[in-house]
Copies of this chain bind each other. A is one copy, B any other.
Amino acid sequence: MKIIGEKINGTRKRVAQAIAERDAEFIKDLARKQTEAGSAWLDVNAGTLPDREPDDLIWLIENIQSAVDTPLSLDSANPEALKIAIKAVNKTPMINSISGEPERLTGILPLVAEHGCPVIALALDDKKIPETSEKRLEVISRIVKETRLLGIPDSNLYLDPLAMTISTNTQSAVIAFQTMRCVREQYPEAHLTIGLSNISFGLPGRSFVNRYFLSLAIQAGLDTAILDPLDREIQAAILTTDLILGRDNHCLNFIRASRKGLFEKSVQ
């Protein structure tokens, strides 16, 4: 289970403020903490309007890279901003994201191919989210056809089946799991990723929904997720699920986390 740390996102108020005020220490601190918590990538989303986005992205990237050497996930739908950002990174970045929308494929996919980037691909098309897993798989299949044409290996694909909130459709998680199982079967080399927090939007007890959804999704084949790596309940969910699924040799990671107090009530 690899984590894409979600916290450096300009759509979050405190981060937007840090970007506006050029508060580099705040951003570096987020980068360090998410790296220490085991993030494989740090998502970077300027969250600003197109004319400010390239400058803000470059500022974010430079400050993050001065603090940590964790690879970045460049989170933008804007090919121009991505083009500029890719030149500023030290390590090959993940691109977050493409989808079945033609302009996103045409604009971003050549960049992904040219720079050999891992890329998140959302199972949506023309800004609509298909309601069934069959239709999501169709969108994914169209995307994979395009990526293969450009020579992008399936192993660089991080396919996101989309987890919409259960509050408006109680079958949302089930549809996501079905899509994941089909993808696992059809594209065994591709990865499965998900943005964790949507699933619980509008519900009470969101943290409970997020953590059990994550655990069940890992059983369904999820191997990456965009989430808050500093959330102790999420850390516990991942470690415990890995233990139960027989992926923690001699239970070492679990026991180590326990010794650090992760499972103690008082600190949750």
Residues of chain A whose beta carbon lies under 8 Å from any beta carbon of chain B: 166-167, 170-174, 199, 203-205, 207-209, 212-213, 215-216, 219-220, 236-237, 240-241, 243-246, 248-251, 254-255, 257-259, 262-263, 265, 268
The answer for the CA separation of A170 and B255 in the assembled complex, in Å, is 13
A255 contact set on B, CB distance < 8 A: 203-204
Say how many copies of this protein the assembly contains.
Answer: 2
Are B251's CB and A166's CB within 8 A? yes
The answer for the CA separation of A259 and B204 in the assembled complex, in Å, is 9
- Closest B residue to A217 using CB positions: B244
Min distance, Cβ A2 to any Cβ of chain B, angstroms: 19
Given contacts A245-B173, A268-B265, A268-B268, contact A236 B254 (CB under 8 A): no
Given contacts A215-B216, A216-B244, A265-B268, contact A170 B251 (CB under 8 A): yes
Given contacts A216-B216, A241-B216, contact A246 B204 (CB under 8 A): no
Which of B173, B248, B268 is A244 in contact with, Cβ under 8 Å? B173
Are B262's CB and A205's CB within 8 A? yes
> What are 28 A-B contacts defined by CB distance under 8 Å?
A166-B243, A166-B246, A167-B251, A170-B243, A170-B250, A170-B251, A173-B246, A174-B245, A203-B254, A204-B254, A204-B259, A204-B263, A205-B257, A205-B263, A207-B263, A208-B236, A209-B244, A212-B237, A212-B240, A212-B244, A213-B244, A215-B216, A216-B216, A216-B219, A216-B241, A216-B244, A216-B245, A268-B268
Min distance, Cβ A186 to any Cβ of chain B, angstroms: 20
Min distance, Cβ A175 to any Cβ of chain B, angstroms: 9
A251 contact set on B, CB distance < 8 A: 166-167, 170, 203
Are B240's CB and A209's CB within 8 A? yes
Min distance, Cβ A172 to any Cβ of chain B, angstroms: 8
Are A240's CB and B166's CB within 8 A? no
The answer for the CA separation of A154 and B259 in the assembled complex, in Å, is 45
- Closest B residue to A176 using CB positions: B244
The answer for the CA separation of A243 and B249 in the assembled complex, in Å, is 32
Q: Which of A166, A209, A212, A240 has the most CB of B within 10 A?
A: A212
